[in-house]
Structures are given as C-alpha cells and as structure tokens.
Amino acid sequence: MIQFDRVSKRYPSGKDALSKVSFTLPAGQLTFLTGHSGAGKSTLLKLIMMIERPSQGQVLVDGQNLNGFASRHIPLLRRKIGMVHQNHQLLFDRSVFDNVALPLVIAGYARADIGKRVRAALDKVGLLDKEKLNPIMLSGGEQQRVGIARAVVNKPPLLLADEPTGNLDPQLSAEIMDLFQDFARVGVAVLIATHDLSLIARYRHRLLTLREGRLIHDGEEAAHGA
C-alpha cells in the first residue's frame, strides 16, 4: 500500500526531518510508527498525505509514485486515505452525521447512498444513536470514534492515525485499537503514529522506530532506547 524508497526530507530551514527512510506497508497490516517528538513521525505522515513533498527518494501510495503527482490530483489521493487525528478535527457547526458524511459528499455519492454508508460507519464505531447530536456534546472517546467513522466511511485502502489514543484512558484506547485491528483484518493498511509505548507493548504489531529522521528499527520488537 505504501512504499518509501530512501526518502529524505529537508525543510527550508535546513532541518533534516527524514534521512533515507525505506520501508513497505502491505495491505491488511497494522503498523506502529514511533519515536520522540521531532523524530520525523509527522513529516512521514505529511509525505503520505502529500502535505509535503520529499526532497529525495520516492513515496508510492497504492502503486502510484507521488513524485510528479500533479497538485490538482492530490484530493483524489487523499480520498484513498483515512486520517485520524489526535485532536479529532471534527466540525462543531454540524451534526455527527454531517461530520461523518463529509468525505462522501466531497466524493460525490448519491444522497441515499450517503445515509446508508454513514450509518454503517457509525454502527461500526458504536455511535449509531448519536448521529443527530453535535460532536461537542460527546466525550473525548466518542469524538475520537466519530473521527474514525469519518476516516473509514468511504472505505479507504489506507488508514493513518496520528496519536489516536493520545488523550484517552487505557480502556478507551483499547476500544480504539480494537477498531483499528478490525480494519486491518479486512485488508486496510493501518499506520498508527504514537509514542504510547505501553500501547505498542500490549499489541505486538510491526513497529517502525524513527530517531532524528532515521529509521532505526523495523520489526515486531520495540527498539530499546527509542
């Protein structure tokens, strides 16, 4: 699903955010991405989302090389990627239903289809009875699940999560992780950026560890000192 081939990113300030990072994420696999803040996690996600472009190397998403990918096609790329944020990025001027429906409205789904798919996604995250509420009335855990429903509502082949359990207690974190594992099981490539080491230790999935922009570990075991 995702392939990084000796990818480097240097910001105009001269800071090397990533240096020669290479890895491959297959479909149906859940992978953790970890490292201290400033290690390059955010930059790596931004390169996948095409918010930034690499200085060197190649990024492939769903078989498409993002180098030379025209700016005006970026929205199409992003429709293949579900993105879950630490701060949920929900819109408080509309209902839960409308928040989740947004990717479908943008992609041009028929109205009737939208209702069906939104309810399926809300059902999946256990919030079917909250569709009419404003997300501001929901708890942090529920808001995060709305964010997940929105990320998966158009069934993207790739799911990115940036500190998805950052503000949640272990119980809620476990629920969220169960959801992500379900998506991986049905073939979605899931990449979770987190520095929650207890979470990583509990679930023993593949782990990518970044330090100062370098990929220092790629495997099932947590790297020591990461």
Partner 1 sequence: MARNATPHKTARPRPEKPRRSTGAQSAQTSLGDRFTAWRLHHRDSLYDALGRMRRARASSAMTILVIAIALALPSGLSVLLDNAKVITRGWDGNAHLSVFLKMDTSNQQQQELARQWQQRADIDHTQVITRQQALNEFRKLSGFGDVLEALPDNPLPPLIVVFPDSTDPVSLKALQNRLQDNPSVDMAQLDVEWVRRLHAMIQLGERMITALTLALALAVVLVVVNTIRLAIENRREEIVVVKIVGGTDGFVRRPFLYTGFCFGFAGGLLAVILVQIALWWLGGPINELLSLYNSTDTLATLGAGSLITLPLFSGMLGLLGAWLAVGRHLSEVEPNF
Residues that bind partner 1 (CB under 8 A): 1, 27-28, 42, 45-46, 49, 51, 62-64, 70-80, 83, 85-86, 89-91, 93, 102-103, 105-111, 113, 117, 150, 154-158, 162, 183, 186-189
**How far apart are the two ends of the chain, measured CA to CA in Å?**
26
Residue 221 Cβ vs partner 1, minimum distance, rounded to whole Å: 26
Minimum CB separation from partner 1 for residue 224, in Å? 28
Helical spans, DSSP H, in 14-135:
41-49, 74-78, 96-107, 111-124
Quick one: 160 or 217, whose CB is closer to partner 1?
Answer: 160
Residue 117 vs 217, nearer CB to partner 1 = 117
For partner 1, the closer CB: 142 or 217: 142
Q: How far is the CB of 161 from partner 1 (least distance, A)?
A: 11
Nearest CB to partner 1, comparing residues 150 and 217? 150
| Identity of the residue, 110 or 132, whose beta carbon is nearer to partner 1 in the bound complex | 110
Sheet with 2-10, strands from edge to edge, namely: 16-25, 2-10, 56-61, 64-65
Q: Report the nearest approach of partner 1 to the CB of residue 35 (Å).
A: 15
Q: Which residue, 132, 134, 127, is CA-closest to 148?
A: 127
The residues, ordered by sequence, that sit 6+ positions from 54 with a Cβ below 8 Å of its Cβ are 7, 8, 9, 18, 47, 66, 67
Element (H, E) at 33: strand 30-34
